[in-house]
Structure formats: C-alpha cells, structure tokens
Chains A and B, each alone.
Chain A
C-alpha cells in the first residue's frame, strides 16, 4: 500500500497547505461583517477545480492499482512480462499528442481558430493512434502466449493498460464535444477553458501512463532501492 499512501500524503500536503490559508485559527464568533479578511472563494473557474478534484480521484485509482501490483510482484514467484517493443512507439505518440494539445491551448489563447482546429485534430488523431497501438501491443502479447489469465503479471498489464485506455477514450469524447462546439462557432473564451481542461487531462494521463510503465517495468522498485541505499 506504499504507493497509495505516498499519493495520499501528497494530497494531504496540498489540502493542508490550502487549509492553512483559510484562517482556521480565526475566531468566527467575534467577527461580524461581510468579509472579515477579504477571504472569499478564489477566482479560479469551477470547471478547473472540478477537473483537479476528478484528477485526484483518478490518480488515487491508478495509485491503488499500483499498490496492488507492488504487493504482488514482491513475491518470489513473480514472472516478469516481456514488454512488446511497440509500447515505446505508443508512449512517444502519446507524448506527441500531449504536445499538440499544449499547442492548442496556446492557439486558443491567441484566439487563433485555424491553428486551434489543426492542433486539436492532430492531438486527437495521435491519441486515437495511441489507443490503436496499445491494442496492437496487447494482441502481440497474446499472440506470444501471454494471454490475460496466464499469470498475475500479464493480468495486471492488460488491466492497467485497458483502464488507462478507457480514460483516454473518455478524454477523446470530451475532445470530440469541443470539436463540435468549435465547428458551430462557439466563443473563443468559452472554448479556451475547454481546451485548457482537455490539455490538463491529457498531460495527466500521460503522467499516469509513464508512472504505470515505471511501476510495471520495475523501475519504481529500483528507484526506491537506490534511494534506500543512499539513505542507509
């Protein structure tokens, strides 16, 4: 459970930092008036806060899968799964997709509708390519005999890859809606928020994928061991 506890510690640190700015030491019974210290809710959009809360939930979900994985792969009988090389191409495609969404954010801030359209389309197409590539990679694994139920290591790989893919698919649905609104000539300001939300989600899922790879390849374990050796 070390991964989820670390994740929760980060969440707790953020929550603690935020709470520390909420005047928890104030004496509300002594204060009357509209805003005792001008402390109203901050002017961040509701959608952004909503997305970040959602990302915390998704992050927790994947951290829990990571925890379950680490609990199991510590055992002696763990069989390591050979990674299909296609995984690396897919990862590169996902990075590129994220880069294009970043470019789309910049285009939206410039109010450049043409660039915005091309960048969004390219980013979305790359994400679709990633999904297709992941499917091919899983098929290649299965063709080599590493089917879903063969061993816990292959079950974990299918499950985590599949769930990550489902999240990408959800992101693509949101991106599709954004594209529809772009075509029907929605205002730049409204679209900008949507593009920013999509980009944040994309970067986050890229991070999740890299972290999942690191855990499943055993890098995370090696990293912890190196840190442990340095500390002791």
Chain B
C-alpha cells in the first residue's frame, strides 16, 4: 500500500507537496494490465462487465426466440431455456449492473469527483478487479462444463437447484455458479472497502460531505449497502455449496428423487430464501442508488440549473439505503409466511415509495424552467425518469400482499422488474457513458448514432415490456418455455412474437452503440477538458484524459458545492467547485 503524498483531510495545505512525485508505473504490463490506477481499473471493470453483459444479451435473444416462436427452434430444449434465463438474470444483475456501477463508475468517478489522487488502497483495488475477472471466467467456464450451466432460475432456490431434475443441478453447473458468486463477493469487498474509505478519508480539502456531487453520494451509499448485503449471498452460496458438494443439509429437507430417498434431511429451504432476499432486495437499490445519483448530476448539468432540494436528495438516498434492509420478505409473500409478516413487509415496502417519490419530484422540479439541452445524456436521463416512474408504479401493486399473490411468478413480475431494474438503470448507464466518455477518451461520442441508439432503445424497451404486463395479467407464468393455447387466448402468442421482434431490434441498437464507442475513440470530435461546462472536479483536471495521479502537482481545493449553474452575475453559466470565486486569489487560503 502506497501512502498518498498528500494525506487529504489532515489540513495540510498543498504548498507542502511541492515534492510530489507522480506515480510511475514501470513497463507496459504495470501500466496497462496490472495497473493500480483507479481509472484503468474502472475501464477494465467496464469492459469485462460489457463483455459478459453481451453474453447475457444474446441469452435474452435466445429466450425471446423460444417465447416468441415456440417449437420453431430445435436447439432450444427445455433444459437449455432454463439455462438461458438463469444465466441471463444472474449475469445482468450481478456481473453487469453491480460491477459496472460500482467497479466501473465508482472507480472512475469517486477519486476524481472528491479530488483524490487515487483510491486509498490501490493494490487492493487492483486485486479486486482480478478476482472479479476470475469470477467471470469461472462463470463462462460453466457454459462449457459437461451438463452446461445451472438452470435453477437466477434465485437458485433449493432444493431444486441441486437436484437432478434441474439442468446443472447434479453436474458442475451449480458448483461453478456458486464458486463464481463467492469469488465475485470477495472481489467486490476489496473494491468496496476502497470506495467507502476513499469517500471517508480521501476527500480534497474543502470537500465536505454536503459538497459532494450526488453521484458520489449514490455510489457511496450503494457500496455501504453492498458491503452489508452481499455477505448474505455469500453465506447462502457457501451453505448451498456444502449441501451440494459435501452432503450437508442446510437447505435440504428429506426428499425423494426419482423414487429414491436422498441422504438429505432436516434442512430449511425457506432459510435460503430469507438469506437470498436479504441480499436480493438491497441489491435492487445497490443498482438504483448510483443511478439516482448519476441522473441527478446529468439533469442538473444539462438543464444548466442547480439540483432542486440537494439536502433532501442526500437524505432520501440515505433513508432509501436504510429502509431497503427491512423489506426483503416482500419477495416471499407466497412462501407460506405468517400474514402479519406480510403486512409488516408491505408497509415498509410502501414507505420506501416516499423518499423515492421525493427524488422523482426533485428531478422534475430541477427540469422545471431549466435551460434544458436535449443532449444525449439528457435524453437518457429523461428516459430513466419516465421508465423508473412506470416501473415503480407496478411495484406498488406487487408490494401489496393481496395483489401480489395472484400476480406472483407471472410475466407481470418479469415486466415490472425489467422496467425498474433493467431498463431504468441501463438508461442511466448509457447516459453516463455519453456524459463521461469525453473525459475518459478526450473525444465526443457520435451524436447521430447516439440519437438513433436512444430512440430505438427507449421506444423499443417500452414495446417489449409494456405488452409483457398484459401477458402476465392474462396469467402466463414466468419461466415457462411454452404455454398451451388451451390456457391463454391466442392473442398472447401474437403478443409474444411481437415482443420478441422488438427485443431483437433493441439488441441490434446496442451493436450500434458498441460500434460508436470504438469509432469515436479515433474519429470522434475532440472534446476538450470540459465539454459540458460542468462544475464538478473531474472536469477540472489539468489533462484530459487525466493522468495517473489525476491532478498534476497540486490537488484541487474545493470552495463551493457541486451545482453552481446559472448563478446570477457570474461571468459564465457555471462556477467550478475549485473556483475560489471573484476577488479571491487562486490557491490562497480562504
């Protein structure tokens, strides 16, 4: 561990770091592969997450091929279908969204936005990425293992997850899945320690907590939650691994398989559900809170207006983070729990809507009479707000026990969580990439390709998931590869085919986005250091892309909050956070 040259926050003025030696990585390997620079680690995280996310995208196409045109494709057996949906869900939730928001955006933005030179423990940070990569490799290996990957559904409920009737249950699939999850959690913990301690200890002078951009607040709170929630998945995975590999019965009751009594006995499958959702529900907000934070900054910057109700926004993030730990059992209304429990969890679930609604109102009020620039980041931010509201509304239905019981395990649930946890955060990820790509590469992404990408993705996502609510209301259960026409009207088949076509179109638009990422790297318009005229520190670096160490000789001093846009009387329509203001000498003490 390298001590930072300027221990931030100890009140040492930057004059003392005249002998600052920029970190110097020796050789190509140390610079580009085993880099300890948080920005490189962020790019490594992002590329790996995108790569494995593409696998999950293809899996969703295969799923839609089967659902839209059942019986047409011989290679999609029932087992293969289960494997597709399982791996699609697990990859998207854990290996893409979590890794991209925290490992990708967290690594890139936290040090830059709080004015640090790097994460506080760069070596551990590097290790975090490599353990994550190992987790992804183990996951990929499971595709090629005999018997294929697990098909237990992304929730991996026992006892079926490790029985012979489930694909991968009695072969290597489930073992590799559990090992991969355990590795992911170990790797994430290493990174998470860095994100939290950097925010706590690494902030530049003058960067009080209440001056941090909401992006940092969102990622910080989500990381704290993830550090406390992922151990629940860890515990569940370790115990299930013991059940599968060593014959223990943590989750396995006495049962018969193909007429034969298994050696299991005395375990509790419900215990797994509690552990899984104790992780699983906070996970929703682990993905949502960074999205909330980022979207706040996108909206403020591209509407040239300070964020409405900054304090409320901070409090709401913290309150949502805390509340999300006491709602987990709303995923378990049909597990036979005590109805009073259900009542309690329905209440806490609906209470979360209050801080969430505050955030939505504040975004809208920020836009109100703002100077809205319909740039690509703004388009995606607007797309997020609309989608999140729509997805959240069906959450109010599902949060109530009496409504949830008939809708449970139908396509309605699938449509709900894809809107709120799939489409909405992905919108923010796209918006954030269009927003920060110029800082990462020094070039703008192509606008025309971006517009096409946005409209196909946004409209397409609605064409996919709005009809899916109706499919669910008609009673089509989730996870069924095919449903007999005797049970549902014929129109459901037509609707499913339509949804599939929309899904392929949206998928194709993502190829355009990836092409844009590569094309703009060379051909994009040079962006300069601060193309969006934004206030936050990452846009004030001496070089773009920022070099290792971020700030050259002197780390920044912070004189104001992150949202001084369109300040009356100011020479420009923004005042950077490290701008001491009129009349003050640069670098002087306040």
Contacts and interface: CB of A to CB of B under 8 A. Distances in A.
A152 B250 contact: yes
Interface residues of A, number: 55
A79 to B, nearest CB: 9
A36 B274 contact: no
Contacts of A144: none
Nearest to B263: A149
A24 B315 contact: yes
Contacts of A156: 250
A26 B210 contact: yes
A206 to B, nearest CB: 20
Interface stretch (B40-48, B198-206, B507-515): B198-206
A222 interface: no
A4 B282 CA distance: 14
Interface in A1-22: 1, 4-5, 8, 11-12, 15, 19, 22
A46 interface: yes
Interface string B208-219: 111100000000
A67 B273 CA distance: 13
Contact of A29 (B203, B206, B209, B306): B306
Nearest to A54: B193
Interface in B210-259: 210-211, 224, 227-228, 231-232, 234-235, 238-239, 242, 246-250
Contacts of A151: 249, 266
Interface string A44-59: 1011011001101100
A68 to B, nearest CB: 6
Given A49-B201, A71-B271, A28 B248 contact: no
A52 B278 CA distance: 22
B76 to A, nearest CB: 37
Interface string A135-168: 0000000000000110110011001000100000
Interface string B558-572: 111101100000000
Name which of B210, B238, B268 has the most chain A CB atoms within 10 A of its CB: B210
Interface string B258-272: 000001001110010
A187 to B, nearest CB: 12
Interface stretch (B8-16, B57-65, B136-144, B374-382): B8-16
A71 B268 contact: yes
Contact of A34 (B10, B263, B311, B559): B559
A224 interface: no
A28 B210 contact: yes
A39 interface: yes
A68 B239 contact: yes
A165 to B, nearest CB: 14
B82 interface: no
B239 A12 contact: no
Interface in B256-305: 263, 266-268, 271, 274-275, 278
A117 to B, nearest CB: 23
Interface of B: 1, 4, 7-11, 120-121, 189, 192-193, 196-197, 200-203, 205-206, 208-211, 224, 227-228, 231-232, 234-235, 238-239, 242, 246-250, 263, 266-268, 271, 274-275, 278, 306, 310-311, 314-315, 318, 322, 325-326, 557-561, 563-564, 581, 589-590
Given A57-B227, A149-B263, 18 more contacts: A27-B311, A28-B560, A31-B561, A32-B559, A37-B208, A40-B206, A41-B203, A50-B197, A57-B192, A64-B278, A68-B235, A71-B271, A149-B246, A152-B248, A152-B266, A155-B248, A159-B239, A159-B242
